[in-house]
Amino acid sequence: NAGVTQTPKFQVLKTGQSMTLQCAQDMNHNSMYWYRQDPGMGLRLIYYSASEGTTDKGEVPNGYNVSRLNKREFSLRLESAAPSQTSVYFCASSRVYSNQPQHFGDGTRLSIL
C-alpha cells in the first residue's frame, strides 16, 4: 500500500519555466491538498480539493494552478516559475475534508534558479 505518491522527488528549474507536480493516492480518499514548506516554517496550504470535481484556494495560491484529474490524482502546476517558489512541496489526502488526519507524501524538492 503506497499511500500518497509524489513525482518527481527533486527538480531544478530556471526562472520562467513551467512544470507540473504529480500526486496520487491509493486510499480512496475524497480530499486532497497541496502544501509548501519553507525552512523553519510550518506547512502553508496552496490549494485543496475537498472532493472530486472541486478545487479551492488556500493561504498562498498565487503563481499556482491545480487540477483534480480524478479521485486518485491531484496535480499542481507552476506556469512561470519564480525563485520565491523554491520550496518543498507536499501533497496530502484525507478521507473527508474535516475532522480527519491527513496522509502525506514524501515531498518534491523544487529549486528555481
Partner 1 sequence: SQQGEEDPQALSIQEGENATMNCSYKTSINNLQWYRQNSGRGLVHLILIRSNEREKHSGRLRVTLDTSKKSSSLLITASRAADTASYFCATDLIQGAQKLVFGQGTRLTINP
The one segment of 21-29, 62-70, 77-85, 101-109 that binds partner 1 by CB under 8 A? 101-109
The one segment of 11-19, 55-63, 64-72, 73-81 that binds partner 1 by CB under 8 A? 55-63
Tell the smallest beta-carbon distance from residue 39 to partner 1 (Å).
Answer: 11
- Member of 19, 22, 45, 75 binding partner 1 (CB under 8 A): 45
Comparing CB distances to partner 1, the nearer of 15 and 56 is 56
60 neighbors 44 (Cβ within 8 angstroms): yes
62 binds partner 1 (CB under 8 A): no
Q: Which of 93, 106, 92 is nearest to 29 (CA)?
A: 93
> Scanning the structure block, which residue is given the C-alpha cell 486532497?
32
From residue 64, alpha-carbon distances to 2, 86, 100 in Å are 26, 13, 26
Start-to-end Cα distance in the chain: 36
26 binds partner 1 (CB under 8 A): no
